[in-house]
Structure formats: structure tokens, C-alpha cells
Amino acid sequence: MVWKARHKKRLGVISKVMLLANGLAVLALLLSYFAPVVNPKGFWPIAFLGIAYLPLLVINVAFTIYWLIRKAPYAALSLAAVLIGWNTLNRHIGFSRSVPAQALVDPDTTAVRLLTYNVHFFKAFEGSNAMDIKDDVLQVIGDVSPDVVCIQEYYTRKKGKHKMAKAFEERMGLPYRFVVPSEENDFEAYGLAIFSRYPILSSGHLPGQEYGVNRIIYADIDKNGKRFRVYNVHLRSIGFQKEDYDFINSPARKIEEDAASTRRIGSRLKQAFRARSQQAEALKAHSGACETPFVIAGDFNDTPLSYAVSHVATGLRNAFVEKGRGWGVTYNGDFPNFQIDYILTSNDFYVRHYQIVKKKLSDHFPVWADLTL
């Protein structure tokens, strides 16, 4: 009788507040599952919840633990919401085995080893010298020994020791290249680049999808008579400025300043969401018309639970989902760390290995995969 009386005891004020907060957290998590299918051009607010998926997941796991301690039946609320999105969780966490050491020492020559890396113009994220991590970046890439390299935020001098094409050819045996500058002069240039161990037969870019350094290029490569296409992708950046990062890291705690900063950040995110959805649709249409096997790799500037990534990845193999291990974090800058760099392939490829190289040089980690045609 005593147990029944305790069991039927009404919730106190604190528990009611917690239950209300729990309900809001569950609703937000469930709505975040719609981010991959709702185009931000039509309804952009849902995209914010897609970015917030991981924090929402952690909050709901915390509520599950809280209610298991306080009042077990209510734990079912958050637990059910988490389980409903189990497939979503698999996009963020990999459960495959780690890459064997032998795979790095003795690569499979039948496979194509592709690496993608946003090198931040070969400039340390906190540094001031535009070339201060060049040698370190080349060392990291050389250790992987890729056959194809996709570089975003590529920077080069036109002459001298900082002419990067020469370094890629001589140090890594990648003599073929396709470079598309977003800005250049007689002295230097920066943009996107594809380097290859094998001949590049043709190349191009997607017109009308340029936002400064953010654009999409491609190269058709021949490996021993087998032709395939590689897309190097750098979708629209959010464009945060120093004042935005300062606010994220340390809010002003003044209503007027915080409100202005929140509106400014929200506007930047909204514009970026819409631009990326447009670029993603153009990329999907272009790759869908490709008559050869293809790989799409690069910096999408968006999470696995986003319209841009999901739209492009539909019907393709996601190298991280198939062979990834652990949390798929590829961005390590000031904004909350997420997976925003991807390697996707047509179904003509089999993903043998995948790895995120946790070397903090740029604000991105390099990512590589072994792909067998």
C-alpha cells in the first residue's frame, strides 16, 4: 500500500518543469529528423534543428537518465525519440573496424585512394602567415599516399618555392591537376584543385553555383583504362566574422547586443542554407547525368542531417557510413564541431577503407577512402 501511494504521488513543481522541458526537447529532436527532406528554400527554420541534432540528442539522453533515477516511466519519452532516429545516429557515429596499419604501409593498387582536405589556404587557423603549415599539410597528405586529392581553399604562388603544383608533383607523385582559381593575380591565386596520379582526360565546373571560393569542379580521370569522374565540392560557407565567433564563445549578456548578434547569425545561416540547397540540387542533376562511375568529395559546410548533404547522398554510397569509426567529426574550428566533409560514390564503387586523420593543422581534418571500381 505504501509503495502504491508513492507510485501515485503527483509530480512536484520541479518535476513538472522538467517534464515540460523534456517534452520540448523531444519535440525539437523529432522535428530535426525532417531537416534532410525539407528544402530550406521553402522553409528554412527546420534546418536550424538539423544543425542542433547532436546537442538535442545529448539533452534527450540526459533526460532519459534523469527520469530513470527519478521516475522511470517518463524515461520512455526521450528514449523513444532517440530510438526513432536510430538511422540518423548511424550517420554521425561509425561502428566499423579501424583501418589496418598494413593498408597504409602497403596500399591496394587495385583501389583508388582519394583524399579530400580543406587546407585553409595552407594557413594555420590561428596563424597569420599564409604558408606556415604548407610543409605539415604536405607531410600529412604524403603519409596517406593518395592517388587523387581534392583540395578546398587551395592557395599557391605563381613562382618560387610556394608554387604548390610543383610540390604536389615532386613530393607526392601527382603530376596531373585541374585548378580553378576563385581569385588570382600575377603573383598568387586561390580556389579549388584536383591533383591526380593518373591522367585527367577532361574537366569542368558547374556554372552559376559560385559564391566566391565556394564552388564545384570536376575532373574525368583514367586509371589503367578505367574512366571515372571526381567532383571536388565546396558548398556555400556560413561566412561568420570575428564578431560572430566572439558572440558564440562569449555572449555579451546585454539584451540589445545579444539580440542583434542573434539576428545577424541567423541571417547568415539562413542565406547559407538556401544557397547550399541550390548548389546541392545542381550537383545532383549534374552527377545524375554522368555516364561514368563518379566520386563526390569535399567540404559541404553542412551536417549529415541537412537537406544539402542528404539530397546529394541519396542513392550513393557514403564512405563514412559504410566504413567510418567513432564520431565523424571533420571540422575543428570555432563553430561547434561537426562532420561537414564527405566522400560519396556511385554504386559502381566499393568502399574498402575510410579514415579521418586527426591532425589539427587547418580548421578541417583530412579525410580519405580506398575505393574499388
Taking only the tens place, the pLDDT of each residue in 100-118 is: 888 887 888 899 999 999 9
Interval 129-153 mean pLDDT = 89
Cβ neighbours for 230, distance < 8 A, ≥ 6 positions apart:
114, 148, 150, 194, 196, 218, 219, 221, 294, 295, 297
- Cα gap 272→302, rounded to integer Å: 10
CA pair distance 63, 135, nearest whole angstrom: 47
Nearest to 101 by CA among 321, 342, 355: 355
Pairing of strands 148-157, 188-196: antiparallel
Domains of the chain: 2-84 (no CATH), 95-372 (3.60.10.10)
Q: What is the mean predicted confidence (pLDDT) over 21-42?
A: 96
Whether residue 63 has pLDDT greater than 60: yes
> What pLDDT does 11 receive?
77
Q: What is the pLDDT of residue 128?
A: 52
Instruction: Report d(CA 234, CA 194) in Å as an integer.
Output: 12
pLDDT of 154 reads: 95
29 pLDDT exceeds 90? Answer: yes
Is the pLDDT at 218 greater than 50? The verdict is yes
Cβ(302)–Cβ(236) below 8 Å: no
Residues 6 or more apart in contact with residue 254 via CB below 8 angstroms = none
The predicted model gives 252-259 an average pLDDT of 55
* CA dist., res. 217 & res. 199, Å (int): 16
Phi, psi of 62 (to 5 degrees): -65, -40
**Burial class of 303 by CB neighbour count within 10 A (0 to 12, 13 to 18, 19+):** buried
| pLDDT tops 60 at residue 120 | yes
Question: Model's pTM, two decimal places?
Answer: 0.89
Say how far apart CA 367 and CA 324 lie, in whole Å.
10
Which residue, chain included where needed, has cell 568529395?
297
pLDDT of residue 107: 85
**pLDDT (mean) for 297-312:** 96
Cβ atoms of 244 and 273 within 8 Å: the answer is no
Q: What is d(CA 192, CA 142) in angstroms, rounded to the nearest whole number?
A: 19
Confidence band for 159, pLDDT divided at 50, 70 and 90 = confident
